[in-house]
Structure 1
Amino acid sequence: MSKVKYYYDPDTLSYRKIEPKKSKRYRNIFLFLLGSALFGFLGLIILLNTRWVNTPKELSLEREVRNYELQYDIMSRKMDQMEQVLANIEDRDNNIYRLYFEANPIPEEQRRAGFGGVNRYKDLEGFNNSEIIIDAVKRLDIIQKQMVIQSKSLDEIAKLAEEKEKLLAAIPAIQPVSNEDLTRMASGYGWRSDPFTKARKMHWGMDFTAPRGTPIYASGDGKVVRADNRSSGYGKHVRIDHGYGYISLYGHMSKYNVTVGQKVERGDLIGFVGSTGRSQAPHVHYEIFKDGERINPINFYYGSLSTEEFESMLKLANQENQSLD
């Protein structure tokens, strides 16, 4: 409530109430409103330049920055996962795949090599968050380079696997006569008694006895290089070149089922058991050559025999009995 002011009137010897003029009242009201407006405007300017009050544009920019920070955090976690997965693949590549295929591992310095020479990230410098941006781009570049190296390595592994598959298919790995048709494994590789001279003589293969006409099968993929009876002692026989230095020989056949130059696969019928050439009874004489040298066929039956069957054959093959040729 406004104060009432009085003045002393000497004429009447009394106090009279002072009545303010309307113009002055209006001026005071105007000055008060103007002062309030100026104070409010200055207060608003001050508040807008503090962290407590933001303009809509600033709020929008803040939301955008927070969104970028969230996206960067998500991208960083994804890069962490990519690096972990890539490291796992690299480890298996060096210590499993390349070890299995007898290939040299890729050196760690080659996988982790950076990018020398010109500054690749100069255009990213000078911003508020340049370090974060450059670090992220560097990580992506390194991951990309490692993926390229790993991709080329896997291409090489695929070629090695294909070659290994061909090698495994080519190596003689089954008996030339199936167990169902086999009468017995008559003689093995080593020194044996000659059936004709009774003298002790080196027997360069294994003799599988079976009835005349029993099917004889190719023990590995390859190409027929001989199918004739022009080799002393073998009678009608077939030779298959498997590649990689391996050749298999099947002797004393009654007849052929292949011709020279024909490609065969493991398990294909190539002829029939007989007793042609220097033979005492129907059987197939089986030999394996590696790089021109005869080797023991007993080590090449992993594709058709169980452990028990192999142990039984090994026992029979080591007996110094009489061969059939």
Structure 2
Amino acid sequence: MAQKFRFNVNRLEFEKVTRPVWYFLLKGVKYFLVTVSLAVCYYIVFALVVDTDTEKRIKQENEAYSTMYEGMLERERLLENVIEGMKTKEDGIYRQLFNSPVPDFAISGVDVFLSGDGDIPDKDFIRHINNRIDTLVGMAGRVEGNLQKVMETLLSGKPVPPLTSPVEGFPPSRTGASVGSRINPFYKVRVEHDGLDMLSPQGTPVKASADGVVTGTVRSGKGKGNVVEISHDGGYVTRYAHLDNILVSRGQKVARGTVIGHVGMSGNSFVPHLHYEVYRDSLRLDPVNHFFVSMSPDDYTNMLFMSANAGQSMD
């Protein structure tokens, strides 16, 4: 056992003090625990107050990923709305333009035959392939039949709707709001928009989208500004608004592609653009449905996307 001396004031002499070894072991353990606890506390405080370069980089990456994730969710919702809108437009195009059944280009259902686990028996695989071939043959027949009906309509001499863009070479990236509820750029409230905004430089030629007769011209500094109205066969009417000038007169016959004016900002116009409207027997139609003939499939898809998602009109 360890020993030490202490002075006894009563007896005025030194005497031995004896303590067991476990006393010193316990004291050493206490010092060790206190030291470790202080070290842990210092580390926690340091970690909470001071960020290392790695932690700073990770936080920045997390913030960036969070922003990207929210943007991706918004784009996903946007694309879902666009796809639904395109399906509706696809139905409307053939019914409004050609009075023909809606073409069935899609294969209904999802092919999950090959997504399961395990081996597929040869006979089942062959039967599945034969079924798919029959389905594709049926699809091809329906597509051919629909195209045949469209061609018969075009060749029969029956009236067809205006299918040419009034602005030649119009880029889809300049497509503005189409028909529907849109925010007015001047009053900042939602109003019903009855046409398609085609943003173009001032002075761009505006052409008749089909053969017809000019049934109205308006020269004004208010509302839709300078407007030309053309009536076409089949009960179709097209209107061209916010023109910079008017080059035709009421009662004049015009051919498709005739320049009737130029893009301007007459009336209540936020930027230079053509406001284009299409009607059939007084029924308002979406002009976007009349552009698929004069554009490539990719450009037409982009135009549908832009027109459906422009929240604010230009007039």
Q: Structure 2-normalised TM-score?
A: 0.49
Greater RCO, CA 8 A, separation 6+:
2
TM-score by length of 1: 0.47
